[in-house]
Amino acid sequence: MSLPHILPSAVAMLTACLSLPAWAQDASDTADEAPANLDEIIVSAAMEPIPLREVSSTLTVITREEIEARQVRYVGDLLRDVPGFSVSQSGGVGSQTQVRVRGAEANQLLVLVDGVRANDPANSDEYQWQFALASDIERIEIVRGPQSAIWGSDAMAGVVNIIRRKDVQGASIGGHAEGGSFGTLDLAAHGAWAAGGLRLRAGAAYYDTDGTNIARSGPEDDGAQNTTADVGLEWDATDSLTLLASGQFVDATSDFDDTDFIVTGLPIDADRVTDSEQAYYRGEARLAPQDGTWSGSAAINYSDTDTTNFYDGAFNSSTAAEVFEFIARASAQWAGRAPDTSHRLTFVADQRDTDYHQRGIDAGFGNPNHDQSMDVTGFAAEYLGQPFAGFTWTVSGRYDNNSEFDNIGTWRIGFVHEVQEGVRVRGSVGTGSKTPTFTERFGFYPGTFIGNPDLVPEESRGWELGVESDWLDGALTLGAVYFDQVLENEINGFVFDPATGGFTAANEDADSDRSGVELTGRWAPVNSLVLGASYTYTDATQDGADGQPTREVRRPRHMASLNADWRFAADRAYLNLNVNFTGEQLDTFYDPTTFVSSNVPLDSYTVVDLAGGWRLTDALELTARVSNLTDEDYEEVLGYARPGVAFYGGLRGRFNF
């Protein structure tokens, strides 16, 4: 019997097991920190914020406390521990980074930065994780499964919402300074001020490193530099009206290598540099009359991205995009006739206009210079109901009118049921969509790639079923999720075109199947120690030319992680150990001597990171960390070496006034 047939039964059995009465334990033996606050408000899993207990999708929340404990400097590195997430980085810090969720493509995950869509239309609709510093972040909400009925295109596999600091009380300043291996300097500062109904925050970070050699051979190191700044303002204009404004700006430079298209087909040392600028702005008005049944909001989002590549110090190519988005929401909530019942109905209308620009050197074989545009008008509605205590169900639907493609409708139905105290079952089924990227339609790289303007959107349907149970008075939490998704019209951007002798993009005739299981656990055996673990099995295949299922590249079947956080010395000191395992996976190799591409294996690897701190005063802390403690030699992308062992140390502090 195949795994997809076994897993639903396994989940059902696990549900029954987890529904048994929780083990008794004296409350004094449990950890002070509960594994989850079920009244915590989640802003990314529905059209309006909802409590965690009502979220029907699989959800992970990364808190500021977890980020600071691990001392991780890039958001992409935090995602390596998230169940179902596979990270592929082409070398060291600042190099291209792709994130795939549950076997989906990298551009099928929607990323929000304080509510602004941050997927870059000038970068194949992928978020540029290699430029996302983790400083000044309050929390990261990660919702897995099809979310297009709520967010539209790009949310086929899930949503990641990166939320900046919100803890504005009185006045405070803080930051960190760190240095270490590979000539690395890391500086960050943040501040906040609040008075009356006005709250203001700001932050800035600077990261610079000489880097490591990302090619398998050669002496050249590939460095990176990143400056990120953010600002946010909230004003309670009245008891019912709140005005918000936020912005983030990123200016980053990173070195990369060329590819040997003559002999090896692998990376080779070269003077290649990428300059990237990204800006995300948002203005919003929220109206929520006190003791009223309805609320509403209106927001304007604007993003501007510009990426330029230089070869041997001279301009080679550039891509840029501007996105303007207007969103209006209205929501009504009322109590049901029976006790512990309620209803909420939300309507959303949005308009998104995108301009895309590509510039390059015209070599006489085609013009790489393009200016394209696209606009989408969307209408969506969502019903959230609680027909009885402990049960919530959600129905969402969306209709997108796209200027370049046929209109697209998506839907989603989900539920969450607390079958008994401490035991929750979640499930959902829905559809997703992803429009072709500008690069896939119009991209042109002489002798390499020419776009296909006749592409049609990708579409998917998927479902998931999960169970979560608390034991030992909340000290132990176990969870299991089974997921299954089918993708139609998948776009293959590596199709050989005999007419041009290069490659193009095309919709595949065969469907892609993605299914698997995610297992999670969290245990706080004593007040000072918290253990977290996860395991993911992913089966991502597509029928090949012979009709047989073929594994898709850069989707490891097995992934696992372990994190241990230990507080000691009267809570003045801590150690954080993180172990991440990625199983064997495939990648594509193009042989320049035979002009044939094939899938080759990448070995499995285990990366161990260790971080610690000692609080010198109530406001100042000494920090240290070791990255890749065992000096693992590994690649996440064929031919691109990841950094070896590295050591860092610094100071971190926060001062309240």
State the Cα–Cα distance between residues 66 and 35, nearest whole angstrom.
Answer: 13
pTM of the model: 0.92
| Section 466-479 average pLDDT | 95
For the record, the structure tokens of 388 come out as 């009885």
Q: What percent of the chain has pLDDT over 90?
A: 82
Alpha carbon 327 to its chain's center: 22
Pairing, β 97-101 against β 171-180: unpaired
Query: What's the burial of 577, exposed, middle or buried (CB within 10 Å: 0-12/13-18/19+)?
Result: middle
Q: What is the pLDDT of residues 367-382, one digit of tens each?
A: 788 899 999 999 999 9
Residue 365: pLDDT band (50, 70, 90) is: low
Closest residue by Cα to residue 108 from 640, 509, 490, 393: 490
Taking residue 362's Cβ as centre, other Cβ atoms within 10 Å add up to 12
Pairing, β 529-543 against β 476-488: unpaired
The SS3 of residue 312 is: coil
pLDDT at 113 over 70: yes
Q: What is the pLDDT of residues 569-608, one digit of tens each?
A: 999 999 999 999 999 999 999 888 887 889 999 999 999 9
State the Cα–Cα distance between residues 559 and 537, nearest whole angstrom.
Answer: 7
pLDDT at 204 over 80: yes
Q: 12 vs 464, which has greater pLDDT?
A: 464
State the Cα–Cα distance between residues 284 and 242, nearest whole angstrom.
Answer: 8
In this structure, the chain runs to a length of: 657
Residues 6 or more apart in contact with residue 534 via CB below 8 angstroms: 81, 82, 83, 518, 519, 520, 521, 560, 561
Residues 6 or more apart in contact with residue 202 via CB below 8 angstroms: 190, 191, 192, 229, 230, 231, 232
State the Cα–Cα distance between residues 304 and 283, nearest whole angstrom.
Answer: 15
- Select the highest-mean-pLDDT range: 39-43, 164-168, 302-306, 315-319: 302-306
Place of tokens 């241990």: 564
The lowest-confidence range among 212-226, 416-430, 534-548, 617-631 is 534-548
Closest residue by Cα to residue 624 from 635, 638, 610, 634: 610
| Section 164-190 average pLDDT | 92
Q: Are the beta carbons of 233 and 245 closer than 8 angstroms?
A: yes
Closest residue by Cα to residue 413 from 438, 432, 393, 440: 393
State the Cα–Cα distance between residues 259 and 269, nearest whole angstrom.
Answer: 8
Strand partners, 100: 86
Per-residue DSSP letters for 548-570? SEEEPTT--SEEEEEEEEEEETT
The SS3 of residue 122 is: helix
Per-residue DSSP letters for 157-187? SEEEEEEE-----SEEEEEEEEEEGGGEEEE
Pairing, β 109-113 against β 158-164: parallel
Query: What's the burial of 173, exposed, middle or buried (CB within 10 Å: 0-12/13-18/19+)?
Result: middle
Range 3-656 classified under CATH 1.10.357.10 = no
The SS3 of residue 132 is: coil
Dihedral (Cα; 407, 437, 513, 543), 10-degree rounding:
110
State the Cα–Cα distance between residues 296 and 286, nearest whole angstrom.
Answer: 6
Compute the mean pLDDT over every residue in the chain, rounded to the nearest whole number.
91
Question: Which amino acid is it at 482?
Answer: Y
Q: What is the pLDDT of residues 244-272, one digit of tens each?
A: 999 999 999 999 999 998 899 999 999 99
Place of tokens 């000692």: 614
Sign of the CA dihedral 511, 552, 319, 208? positive
Taking residue 231's Cβ as centre, other Cβ atoms within 10 Å add up to 16
| Section 489-506 average pLDDT | 85
Residue 29: pLDDT band (50, 70, 90) is: very low
| Section 344-372 average pLDDT | 90
Per-residue DSSP letters for 46-82? SSS-EEGGG--SEEEEEEHHHHHHHT--BHHHHGGGS
Q: What is the pLDDT of residues 145-156, one digit of tens each?
A: 999 999 999 999
Q: Are the beta carbons of 470 and 422 closer than 8 angstroms?
A: yes
CA distances from 439 to 25, 183, 455, 587 (A): 58, 36, 11, 21
Q: Are the beta carbons of 164 and 281 closer than 8 angstroms?
A: no
E strand intervals along 435-509 = 444-445, 449-450, 458-471, 476-488, 491-497, 502-507
| Section 548-553 average pLDDT | 91
Q: φ, ψ for residue 570 (rounded to 5)?
A: 55, 35
pLDDT at 364 over 70: no
pLDDT of residue 497: 81
Query: What's the burial of 319, exposed, middle or buried (CB within 10 Å: 0-12/13-18/19+)?
Result: buried
The SS3 of residue 108 is: helix
Q: What is the pLDDT of residues 45-97, one digit of tens each?
A: 999 999 999 999 999 999 999 999 999 999 999 999 999 999 999 999 999 99
For the record, the structure tokens of 537 come out as 């099995």
| Section 5-28 average pLDDT | 36
Residues 6 or more apart in contact with residue 627 via CB below 8 angstroms: 181, 609, 643, 645, 646, 647, 648
The lowest-confidence range among 89-98, 310-319, 507-516, 544-553 is 544-553
Residue 37: pLDDT band (50, 70, 90) is: low
pLDDT of residue 38: 63
CA distances from 526 to 100, 154, 532, 570 (A): 35, 42, 14, 14
Q: φ, ψ for residue 151 (rounded to 5)?
A: -110, -10
Q: Which secondary-structure segment (H or E) carries 319?
A: strand 314-335
For the record, the structure tokens of 439 come out as 């690069």
Place of tokens 């299914």: 515
| Domain limits, the chain | 3-656
pLDDT at 633 over 90: yes
